[in-house]
Amino acid sequence: MRAAGVTEFGGPGALHLVDVPAEPLGAGQVRVRVTAAAVNPTDTYARNGTYAGRDPVKEFPYVPGMDVAGVLAEIGAGVETDLAVGQHVMGIVVPTGAHGGYREDIVLPAGSVTRVPAGSSDEAAATLPMNGLTARLALNTMALRPGQVLAVTGAAGAFGGYVVQLARSDGLTVVADAAEADEQLVRELGADVVIRRGDDVAARIRAEFPDGVDGLADGSVQDAATLPAVRDGGVVTTVRRYRGDGQRGLTVTPVGVRRYAEEQAALDRLREQVEKGEVTLRVAATFPAADAAEAHRRLEAGGVRGRLVLTF
């Protein structure tokens, strides 16, 4: 079985094609023949060993990747589903060892998989599960009411872009940051107010909303720098374990999608929202799996809008 993985942690060049054993299909699981796997920043940290202390790798090869799309190949015992073998599906992967999205065949819990949105390619669908579910979890965690104001940093990125679109669908007023080159994109995603990104983003948000916003989703990982934008008693979600400074009654919650990885109803709702035009799938470029190293180099160079996708 082919996969793009590492036999030792390192830079992008550590990624290469490796052979991995086929995974057995157990009860409650499905097998997917992977045709597309999205490349995310978290994959680069997995590749370079940043996560090794948190999630020790017991053996190599190690295969990154949290998003896949492809063809449903098998359905395990005890799975109650309206999916059928041969359908195109997308899924979220919680990687461990050789079990990662960058492989041409993977076994997943049935709750981690749903059909590809109608009219979408596998490459486009592979960009949705992890970032879409993380965005949904962030919004659920903040529990803002329609009409309240949400700020989003990193709005041109995958997570931030999905937060903007889902928040608009939820009836929130959205203020989002953007570089000058991304301003039109962020407006098209649905932001009501767009401010220039930068170290003073909190001051720029306060200039538009003097009393502070009700909630903030920090997709650009600015942590403490964003907190002044939020009113006293407001809510913040972060994606890199930052928990705030305990001041002004702010509730700061890191969101981790791993605990949300079998929320099939939420994943299927995202599919429906793509089909309704409420959520947009963005592919920046595709690479054969053999060129995974080049995809990581491009991602780490910065400026990618949409997702890079590996294809098998």
Q: pLDDT tens digits for 78-122?
A: 999 999 999 999 999 999 999 999 999 999 999 999 999 999 999
* pLDDT above 70: percentage of residues in the chain: 99
Strand spans (E) along 95-139 = 105-109, 113-115
Under a CB-based contact definition with an 8 Å cutoff, are residues 166 and 269 in contact? no
The pLDDT confidence band at residue 206, using thresholds 50, 70 and 90, is: very high
The pLDDT confidence band at residue 59, using thresholds 50, 70 and 90, is: confident
pLDDT of residue 54: 72
Domain with CATH 3.40.50.720 in the chain: 131-257
Task: Write the pLDDT tens digit of every residue in 158-187.
Answer: 999 999 999 999 999 999 999 999 999 999
Distance separating alpha carbons of residues 253 and 244, to the nearest angstrom: 8
Asked whether the predicted pLDDT for residue 56 surpasses 80, the reply is no
Strand spans (E) along the chain = 2-5, 16-19, 29-39, 67-75, 88-92, 105-109, 113-115, 149-153, 173-178, 193-196, 213-218, 230-238, 251-254, 283-288, 307-311
- Both tokens assigned to 153: 């940093």
Question: What mean pLDDT is predicted for residues 144-152?
Answer: 98
> Is this structure's pTM higher than 0.75?
yes
Distance separating alpha carbons of residues 106 and 2, to the nearest angstrom: 11
Other CB atoms within 10 Å distance of the CB of residue 120: 20
Block residue for tokens 């023949």: 33
53-62, 135-144, 195-204, 299-308 — which is least confidently predicted? 53-62
Nearest to 31 by CA among 128, 120, 103: 103
pLDDT averaged over every residue in the chain: 96
End-to-end CA distance of the chain: 11
Q: Is the bond preceding 61 in cis, omega lying within 30 degrees of 0? A: yes
Question: What mean pLDDT is predicted for residues 142-165?
Answer: 97
pLDDT of residue 241: 83
What is the fold, at CATH topology level, of the domain defined by 2-127+281-311?
A: Quinone Oxidoreductase; Chain A, domain 1 (3.90.180)
pLDDT of residue 240: 83
Asked whether the predicted pLDDT for residue 290 surpasses 90, the reply is yes
Domain with CATH 3.90.180.10 in the chain: 2-127+281-311
pLDDT of residue 97: 92
- What's the DSSP call for residue 247? -
What is the fold, at CATH topology level, of the domain defined by 131-257?
A: Rossmann fold (3.40.50)
Task: Write the pLDDT tens digit of every residue in 245-268.
Answer: 889 999 999 999 999 999 999 999
pLDDT of residue 238: 95
